[in-house]
Every structure is written in structure tokens, then in C-alpha cells.
Amino acid sequence: STIDYINKLRTGKIKSLKTSFVKLNKALLNGVDWNRIFTIAGRSGSGKSTILEQIKRDFIDLNDEPFEILSFEFEMLMEDQLTRYASSQTKKSLKEIYSAEAPLNQADYDEVVQLLEKRKEVPVYYVDNPGTPAQIRATILNFAMERNLKDTGKGLVVSIDHVLLTKGRQGDAEKAIVDELMFTLLELKKYFASIGQRCLFLVLSQLNRDIEREERVLNPVLHFPTRNDLFGASSIYHTSDYVLISHRPADVVGMGEYYGRPRENYPKGLPTKYPSDPKRDMVYWHLIKERFGKPVIIPMAENFKHASIEEVNL
């Protein structure tokens, strides 16, 4: 019941899942709370997959809540995702770990092996093959049942990378497939909540091309992304409890050094390069939908070389 859920939150029997991003935790309910659909959208190169993997790592490393992760990896190979994890921990680039320019030395190799061996203990289960919304639904339900999550008191975190790679029936348009998937996740969220199973859906999606139009690039008032920039905007926006758009303005042709309207500390607009390290791009997280609060902009700096993104102050 609602009263029981509020009491469990009050007494700490149910806790939001904290991330390493302090401002994101604060913008939400002291972390990412259960029984939600959290969509992360952005252009290619904005770091969506990096963000998703970092949030999942944070869930595992920073929380004592019992849960298991079912990870649908439609875009990247599982091997690459695990290597990204090793890169973030060792501060070595993917090229270094993959011996692209020089063989990885024995000590660094041993460190990577130790990290990946330890990662086997983490409750993350991968699905590599793209499926239809109906197949994804069946896989999620079967996983929850076979792992006996409800009876063992474990939460279920489902991540989908990403919605545009979901398979559809022959002849289905991409938007129709996205719509079907999002309404399927909404149905699952309500079903799991009704039986007392904690669940959380983390979904990656794309922006359409409108944000790259010259008219918007040249007009600072139109720089910031909105709900209309989401591909399949209607279903994604309405079914999601949280919508975060990750935007890397330096990667937009013609953007220049400044982003958005003038601000008190930045009379020409927000910087597109990280002021403390101009070799790195700024990434701005626009939380455009938050059911229990107001939209916010969270400044970040990319560290894609080491498969991570960092919260910064401006």
C-alpha cells in the first residue's frame, strides 16, 4: 500500500539508489528511487552509454540495497562494456588496454584481470541479442521469476542500451517500435509495483536532428534541448518519470565557445570547454522531467578517454 511504502522510506527499509553525482542525487529523491522509468537521451557522442555504465557501477559500489541488474546491450558488445569498466578504474584508455599502439605490460594486464575477475561476483546479467518489445517483456518477467527476486527481497534494475535498436515487426516504423517498448516498460513498472517487487528501468534514447539546425546554433536562446528534441518524444516523455538529456555543445558544428543565454558568472553563456582543462569538453545534463521537482542543469566534464564523466562546479 501507499502508506506501507511511505513508512518503509521513512524508516530506511527502502532507500533510493545513490550515484556518485551529488547534484543528480539532490535533484532526484536523494538518489534514483525505485519503481521509476529513467530515460537518458542525447546525440551520438554525448556519452550516453558511459553515463549509463557509470550509474550502474555506482549503484553496485555505493549502495547496500540488495538488487540484480538485467542489462540489455543492443549497441555495444559486453566485452567492450567490461573493458570500459577496467578503463575507468585503472585510468588507462581503451586503446592501451586493447594494446592498440603497444602491448599492455604484464603488471597492467594483471591489474585488469584482477578487476574483471572480481567483477564476476557482481549481480549483472547481460542480454546481447536485440529483441522485440514483446521478447524484452518476456525476458524481464522470466528473469524476475527464475531469480526469485520478490521472495528473496531483491530489487530489479533493467537497463536498455538503446531503444532505437529494439527489433520490430517487419514494416514497423522506428517511432512505433519505440512507442511499443516504452508502453511495455510502463506496464511492467505498474505490474511489479502491484506485486511488491521493486523495479527500476534505465533507458537510453536518441535526440532528433533539430538541435543541430543552423537557426538554433546561431541563436543562444534556442541552444538548450527540450522535450521536442527527443526521438519519439511523446511516448518517451509521457512514460518516463525522469528524462535527462546529456548534451555536449562543443560537438555541435558551429556552436563555438559559449552555450546558451548569458548568465551572471558567464556573460557570454556557459563554456563549451572545461575551464580548468580546455582539452576536455563540457557536458550539460538537462533534467527536463522530474515528477517531484523542477528541471535543472547539471554541469559535467567528459573524461571519455577513461570511460567516465565527472561532476564539476562552474
Look at residue 184 in the predicted model and tell me its pLDDT. 96
Residues 6+ apart with CB under 8 A from 272: 249, 250, 255, 256, 257, 258, 259, 281, 282
- Among candidates 289, 309, 293, which has minimal Cα distance to 301? 309
Look at residue 168 in the predicted model and tell me its pLDDT. 60
Phi first, then psi: what are they for 9, rounded to 5°? -65, -45
Look at residue 94 in the predicted model and tell me its pLDDT. 74
Per the CB < 8 A criterion, the answer to whether 298 and 21 are in contact is yes
Handedness of CA 80, 81, 86, 88 (dihedral sign): positive
CA–CA separation, 167 vs 174, rounded Å? 9
Look at residue 59 in the predicted model and tell me its pLDDT. 96
Look at residue 172 in the predicted model and tell me its pLDDT. 61
Look at residue 81 in the predicted model and tell me its pLDDT. 67
Per the CB < 8 A criterion, the answer to whether 203 and 168 are in contact is no
**pTM for the full predicted model:** 0.88
Look at residue 169 in the predicted model and tell me its pLDDT. 57
Residues paired with 246 in a beta bridge: 42, 285
pLDDT averaged per 10 residues in sequence order, the chain, 314 residues: 68 86 94 96 91 94 94 72 73 80 82 74 84 93 97 96 64 80 96 96 93 96 96 88 97 95 92 96 96 90 90 91
Strands 258-259 and 242-247, sheet pairing? unpaired
Look at residue 164 in the predicted model and tell me its pLDDT. 61
Per the CB < 8 A criterion, the answer to whether 174 and 206 are in contact is no
Look at residue 100 in the predicted model and tell me its pLDDT. 81
Look at residue 37 in the predicted model and tell me its pLDDT. 97
